[in-house]
Structure 1
Amino acid sequence: MRNKMVKLLVALVATVSLTNAQEKFKPNWDSLKKHKPAPEWFADAKLGVYFHWGVYNVPANGNEWYGRFMYEKDRRKNWGKDIYDYHTKTYGRDIDYHDFIPQWKAEKFSAKRWVDMFENMGAKFIGTIAEHHDGFSLWKSEVNPWNSFDKGPGIDVVKEIGQEVKKRDLKFMTTFHHGFHMHFYPKKENSFLRPLSMHAATYKDPEVPQDEEYRILYGNTTYKEECDIWLGKLNEVIESSCPDYIWMDFAQGYIKEDYRLQFLANYFNKAKELNKDVVVNTKGTFFPTNLAVVNVERATMEDITDEVWVTDFQLGSSWGYNKDKRTAVDPQKMIKILAEVISKNGVMILAAAPMAEGVIPVEQAETMKEIGAWLQLYGEGVYSTRPFVEFGQGPTELKRNPEDEWNDYGAIKAGLYDLNAKDIRYTKKDKNVYAIQLGWPGSKKEIALETFAGKAKDLKIKSISVLGSKERIKWKKTADGLVVTSPKKKPAKGDAAIVYRIKLR
């Protein structure tokens, strides 16, 4: 009897193992679409953060596209057009982008200090850029000799940030922007066959170094080589770190489809092996939305979406640190935009811009501190919530800017920074509805929550309070909606937003 039981158990284990093996993701869309785009942890998180840090932080002028624009002498678009002249006057034409690499020391970098700062801001997933368009990897790479461990600072940034994040109850992300690498640096006319791009720059005699030594860095490669390196880099990070979220920038569609399929299969299978629920996004159409979360840049959606989506905003004046524009976003405005995003089923990512030496500018640090202070008090109405029957109300008009050249990767932007105390955004969790008023309206001011005369009119209300206030809140149901009266005394950090907790029966 015992032998029969042992044989039965062995057979069962073999069957389960065979089933698991058969259920591996294959590099085709039918197989990959079985992956759930947004796991619960991602829908719960609401706020994440990463940073742009790299060789471009050494000149720290303009933005993170410095390595491109320093060679683009006839750039017509306003964005980055002054960088060529700046580089010429400051460094001279005999200094190339790779000459900045030994100057990137990162001598003050501390993964612990950065992750502490991000966690205190209230981020539930934290990460690092893995590689920007410039082709310089921020991990110890066998595929790419141009990496931050073997050159420059001598640091495996992905590993150090990842280890620090994983010590805490947080999720880890990496961002990849390298799909555009093949078009990032100006090319010699008719030199390399690859997909056409409106963002490509070609010259009869480009100033970008053509030496064999720098071929991989500057993308003077065949199309197949570029695709092979693209996939090889992703595979290295998947094997060494398997991030919970691999964020993808625009232009991954330049990579051949079979390589993109293989990346997704490799990532999803590694995650399955580790029993992790992972996220990947699409910015454009390079991945289908039935397996990837939609990303829009510095934007929102028109209304509540069926699926979770994600947007990203910069903390500084640009994605990469600019020493000539030492500014940071207004934390109160970012809190209002966060409420707008989550009310429509979105998740927000903020991007820090550290200095080359490894210091996050005080302006950005203060913004993160203020956001964290508000979330510490009112996070109940943010984390693990879901959209209500309507996203909200208010006079501020949010719309698409037809002049935005990045419209393909964004949505509604105009008006976001104008949200104010006349605007309301809703979330819900369990038996609670949260009405987030986007600013302090003043003492004892009434506002009618109109959805309670419409889609939510049949809901029975048990009580209403304001988070962070001990005052009894006056309320009444009318034909115009649920009329609530603000507290006499402004709650702490209430200039950014106040949160009404509406308990349902």
Structure 2
Amino acid sequence: MIVTNTHPTNSLTLADTLNITATSSNFNLVKAGTLTRLYPGQAAVVQIGVQNKVGVAAGTTCGFGDYTADSTSLSWHWNPDWFNEVKFGIFIHWGLYSAPAYGSIAPNEDYAEWYWKRMNDPTYKTKTYQYHNITYGTSFTYDDFISNFTAINFNAKDWVDLIDAAGAQYMVPVTKHHDGFALFNFPSTISMRSSVHYGPKRDFIGELLAAAKTFQPQIRRGTYFSLPEWYNSMLIFMRSGPPTNPYTGAVENYTGFVPANDFIQDIQLPQQKVLAYDYETEIMWCDIAGSANNATIFASAWLNWARDQGRQVTFNSRCGIAGDFDTPEYTTNSGTVVRKWESNRGMDPFSFGYNYQTPDDTYMTGEDIVQSLVDIVSKNGNFLLDIGPKNDGTIPAIMQTGLLDAGRWIKAHSESIFKTRYWSVTPGSNNFRYTTTQEAFYIHYLTTPPLTLFVPDLVPYLPGDTVTILGGSLNGTVIPVTWNSNETISLSLSDELVASDQYVWTFKLDYTSAW
């Protein structure tokens, strides 16, 4: 629930600690909420826990009953608390497109994972049609890359260990992209177009999720799933139809194709069910739903099953219905958005899949990652950052360097990122960003701060509160604070304090005052 301080002058302080409860003849209070600081006119989100009383059916007078296969029923589902808390995830685009690994160079660069689609368009800016002809020849089909997709150096433990070292708390590997070539196992009656049946003959998604569960169990496990397939003859998608040779016009083999009566019922929905129930994904990250989906049928059954299993799962806005969170791509929001959202982009400036032509100096650095993360979290967003491994299963060194640099900062400043909430007043402006918890308020500064740092917003500081620097070599050092006449504050920093950290400087305001 949202609590607002309507008093014109008085602040809620530690001395007033507010306990938020609820009573009803239909439910029992399981967990009260608390609030220790709230400025006049400001609001905060507070959670309480309730449970239906014996004999009160869920979904009647209170609580949620079974979800039904309609968008209205499913709109009542919100993303779980844990999704609000994890903040930073790693996206992984890896598949057949990692073999050619081509997306051209700026200003004509585009998604390398769209290689097959682009090689069918002679006029597209990447000139993939021309590149493929020169590099591989007109008789070399896209599916011939199956033999090049060796994954010989793939090590699932190395991947999840890197994700942990990067400070990320969830991961979303691509299980099947628009080319229809899957990296997970499912009954061969559905399809045989996968790495289990062709090429490496391995279940990479199974290996990766198992490694995370075994070696990094704190990492939440999601799965990306493309709802359509560009060239599956059972689904006319983007007017492409079955695959044809772009140079000769001859119809090509769609490797692993199994005839079916209906793409959605016989291929798409069964594959989603495998990911949901067999692989136990916690995030169903769909892509390109259009009108060709069975989102309400899938989601209602999955959510009911997860609830009965005592699990909390979530799905994005690209499954064919509104979903639990929005997914702006290669962009962020300019201000706070109350509906949950997740910004996704690659470390590569223009591609999710690995593009061998991208210069190293254009990849996101540790500093870029940290500054983006802080900005996004301050606005109620999560940050899903993509890496594109090479076809042999190795992660490019430039990507590893950026992730590890960011991870050192993230781990040292984790309390100001994970399990925080956005500030209802403002996310901050210019170089300031803010995050909050019930116990503290965090002031982030996105560049090297001046020795006198004037905070322009009316942050919830009261005389007697303690402000310290968070992270860096002088972590925990108390910062002198001047409470200005207009109730703003200024922080007095030293050269040593400024030199003690990098990327983003974070100051923790502890609610210690009972003033």
TM range (shorter): 0.7 to 0.9
Conserved? CA contact 1:438–1:496, under 8 Å: yes
Aligned letter for 2:327? N
Conserved? CA contact 1:295–1:310, under 8 Å: yes
Within the candidate set 25, 40, 52, 2:67 is matched to: 25
Instruction: Give the drift of 1:472.
Output: 3.5
Aligned letter for 1:467? L
Give 1:308-347 correspondences, 5 Å limit. Answer: 308-317=340-349, 318-327=351-360, 328-347=363-382
Tell me, in whole angstroms, the C-alpha distance in 2 between the residues paired with 1:69 and 1:270: 40
Tell me, in whole angstroms, the C-alpha distance in 2 between the residues paired with 1:352 and 1:335: 16
Pairing 1:245–2:283 present: yes
Equivalence for 1:39: 80
1:146-200 CA distances to partner (integer Å, 9 max, x unpaired)? 1011111122111111111222122101111233x2xx35x9xxx98857x5xx5
Instruction: Give the drift of 1:128.
Output: 1.3
Tell me, in whole angstroms, the C-alpha distance in 2 between the residues paired with 1:51 and 1:472: 40
Q: Aligned-pair RMSD on alpha carbons?
A: 3.1
Pairing 1:439–2:486 present: no
Equivalence for 1:286: 320
Larger proportion of helix: 1
Pairing 1:477–2:483 present: yes
Instruction: Give the drift of 1:236.
Output: 1.4
1:111/1:72 Cα in 2 relative to 1: closer, same or farther (>3 Å)? same
Tell me, in whole angstroms, the C-alpha distance in 1 between the residues paired with 2:306 and 2:286: 17
Within the candidate set 247, 267, 271, 1:233 is matched to: 271
Aligned letter for 1:26? T
Tell me, in whole angstroms, the C-alpha distance in 1 between the residues paired with 2:328 and 2:478: 40
Pairing 1:172–2:221 present: yes
Tell me, in whole angstroms, the C-alpha distance in 2 between the residues paired with 1:384 and 1:292: 18
1:152/1:175 Cα in 2 relative to 1: closer, same or farther (>3 Å)? same
Tell me, in whole angstroms, the C-alpha distance in 2 between the residues paired with 1:147 and 1:493: 50
1:156/1:457 Cα in 2 relative to 1: closer, same or farther (>3 Å)? closer
Counterpart secondary structure, 2:331: coil
1:22-75 CA distances to partner (integer Å, 9 max, x unpaired)? 94433222332342x211111110101121000111111111111111222233
Counterpart secondary structure, 1:489: helix
Give 1:91-170 correspondences, 5 Å limit. Answer: 91-142=136-187, 143-167=190-214, 168-170=217-219
Within the candidate set 370, 390, 401, 2:405 is matched to: 370
Conserved? CA contact 1:193–1:223, under 8 Å: no
Counterpart secondary structure, 2:154: coil
Conserved? CA contact 2:66–2:304, under 8 Å: yes
1:448/1:151 Cα in 2 relative to 1: closer, same or farther (>3 Å)? same
Tell me, in whole angstroms, the C-alpha distance in 2 between the residues paired with 1:426 and 1:16: 41
Q: TM-score, normalised by structure 2?
A: 0.77
1:134-156 CA distances to partner (integer Å, 9 max, x unpaired)? 10011012222110111111221
Instruction: Give the drift of 1:439.
Output: 1.8
- Between Structure 1 and Structure 2, how many residues are aligned? 435
Instruction: Give the drift of 1:339.
Output: 0.8
Conserved? CA contact 1:386–1:428, under 8 Å: yes
Aligned letter for 1:463? T
Counterpart secondary structure, 1:56: helix
Q: TM-score, normalised by structure 1?
A: 0.79
Instruction: Give the drift of 1:483.
Output: 1.0
Instruction: Give the drift of 1:375.
Output: 1.0
Conserved? CA contact 1:316–1:326, under 8 Å: no
1:209/1:241 Cα in 2 relative to 1: closer, same or farther (>3 Å)? farther
483-492 vs 94-103, which moves further: 483-492
Tell me, in whole angstroms, the C-alpha distance in 2 between the residues paired with 1:213 and 1:425: 50
Pairing 1:427–2:435 present: yes
Identity %: 23
Tell me, in whole angstroms, the C-alpha distance in 1 between the residues paired with 2:223 and 2:89: 11
Conserved? CA contact 1:104–1:152, under 8 Å: yes
Equivalence for 2:467: 464
Structure 2 unaligned blocks of 5 or more = 1-52, 104-111
Tell me, in whole angstroms, the C-alpha distance in 1 between the residues paired with 2:405 and 2:498: 15
Structure 1 unaligned blocks of 5 or more = 1-11, 396-422
1:486/1:29 Cα in 2 relative to 1: closer, same or farther (>3 Å)? same
Tell me, in whole angstroms, the C-alpha distance in 2 between the residues paired with 1:164 and 1:205: 38
1:211/1:359 Cα in 2 relative to 1: closer, same or farther (>3 Å)? closer
Instruction: Give the drift of 1:89.
Output: 0.2
1:349/1:205 Cα in 2 relative to 1: closer, same or farther (>3 Å)? closer
1:429/1:241 Cα in 2 relative to 1: closer, same or farther (>3 Å)? same
Tell me, in whole angstroms, the C-alpha distance in 1 between the residues paired with 2:441 and 2:85: 16
Within the candidate set 303, 308, 311, 1:276 is matched to: 311
Tell me, in whole angstroms, the C-alpha distance in 2 between the residues paired with 1:493 and 1:273: 49
Instruction: Give the drift of 1:278.
Output: 0.6
Counterpart secondary structure, 1:115: helix
